[in-house]
Amino acid sequence: MSRARKAGRLAAVALALAAACGAPAFAQSAAAAASTPAAAAEPAPQAAIPGPTRNGREIYQRFREGLADPTCEAGASTRWRQHFATAPKRLAASNDDTLPLFGYVVDALREAHLPTEYALIPFVESGYKPGARSAAGPAGLWQMIALTARNHRVPILAGYDGRLSPVDSTQAAVRYLKTLHGMFAGDWRLTVMAYNAGEYRILGALKRNGQVARNAKPEQLTGLSDITQAYVRKLHALSCLMEQADDREEWLRALDRPVPRLQAVTVPDDVADIAAWARRSGQDAAQLQRLNPVFAGGRIGQAGAARAPLLAVPAGAIGGVDGDQAQATSTASVPAAATEQAPAADTGSAGEPRRHTVARGDNAWTIARRYGIRVADLLQRNGLGANAVLKPGQALLIDTPGAKAP
């Protein structure tokens, strides 16, 4: 297998968002390339088959439940309140991609049995911007340098920088964090300090200060930079900022909305760019491009670059894939199946157009497939946008008004 093709097979892809900031993230050490075997995913707190969307408060609750240190003393976030004020606002904004991206990272960490404090690292490093680049060299959601990225199996080729793929980079970050987490006896504070400064600097500091990882006092370690010392405080303050926000009730109400559940999707070989995939799948091309800055100019297969087969897109927003095209797409791209029996399809009386009452678990793709029509037609006939969220009990027109049911 050629090097380019192999890299293309490894490339996953990504999601997107917010404002760049912070020092270089991924430690410059090339060590710890070998990853700890991933732990079995813990059971999801909801149905066995997840739906295409979930409530934003569920994402926040899942984050809180995964914290290693959920306590927030009075005034814990005071110093960093202004510095990180935009983070909760972005999570609350319905027109921002931050909350779905945050949910994607939280899920990856929970499945690896890692503390969800680590989901706050992209806020510090990139402002949750998958396309963020630093003049010093780091790039992407997790601000990896090229050497560390390659050491953790992130493909970097002509025309494809996997650091800009939230899927590629998040998979690598979770592997690295899991290695550090084990190396430092499960202490999340030492782990994030090592993520920032490199594991050997932290190991050296522990040795110089006569400490061992299992009962270390990170705040007493000497010989480390102020940035590394502050890293723990920043992440804890960010967590407490959400818990102690002045407008907390208003903020929680803003989270109380359907949020797309992001996942990686295999794109068929005959799709050359994001716009073509958006037309075929009934999605928003601009949103797909924001979620996938790794594809420069929206081109999925570029000359001289490996073709990355996966896109990170909202699960269940996959519309318009039918027939042989559905077979060409990975099973991950198919919306989550309904968790309960849907009512029988309304075939319509003679001369009457068919209608469908949305059941729990239904989405545009499953409904369109059921009736043998295109998703684009279903949405157009009901005046719905590509990102419309269907609600149980909602009545949909299947056929063009005046048309006879087949």
Tens digits of pLDDT across the chain (406 residues): 444 343 333 333 333 222 223 333 343 333 333 333 434 444 444 434 566 788 999 999 999 999 999 998 877 767 777 788 889 999 999 999 999 999 999 999 999 999 999 999 999 999 999 999 998 899 999 999 999 899 998 988 888 899 999 999 999 999 999 999 999 999 999 999 999 999 999 999 999 999 999 999 999 999 999 999 999 999 999 999 888 876 788 999 999 999 988 988 877 778 888 888 888 877 788 888 999 999 888 888 653 444 454 556 665 544 433 333 333 332 222 223 322 333 444 545 556 789 998 886 677 777 887 888 887 788 889 988 766 778 888 899 998 866 555 5
At residue 356, what are phi and psi to the nearest 5 degrees? Answer: -135, 135
Rounded-to-integer distance, Cα 144 and Cα 125, Å: 10
Q: How many CB atoms lie within 10 A of CB 64?
A: 14
2, amino acid identity: S
- The structure's pTM equals 0.68
Q: Which string of b and e fits 251-288 if b means at least 16 CB within 10 Å?
A: beebbeeebbbbbbbebbeebebbbbbbebbbbbbebb
3-state secondary structure of 121: helix
Distances (CA, A) of 192 to 132, 220, 398: 20, 16, 52
Terminal alpha carbon distance of the chain? 49
Distances (CA, A) of 158 to 4, 7, 296, 301: 10, 11, 11, 11
Q: How many CB atoms lie within 10 A of CB 371?
A: 18
Confidence at residue 335, expressed as pLDDT on a 0 to 100 scale: 28
DSSP class of 262? E
DSSP-assigned beta bridge partners for residue 53 = 260
Residue 335 near residue 370, CB atoms below 8 Å: no
Confidence at residue 42, expressed as pLDDT on a 0 to 100 scale: 45
Residue 336 near residue 316, CB atoms below 8 Å: yes
Confidence at residue 366, expressed as pLDDT on a 0 to 100 scale: 73
Residue 369 near residue 349, CB atoms below 8 Å: no
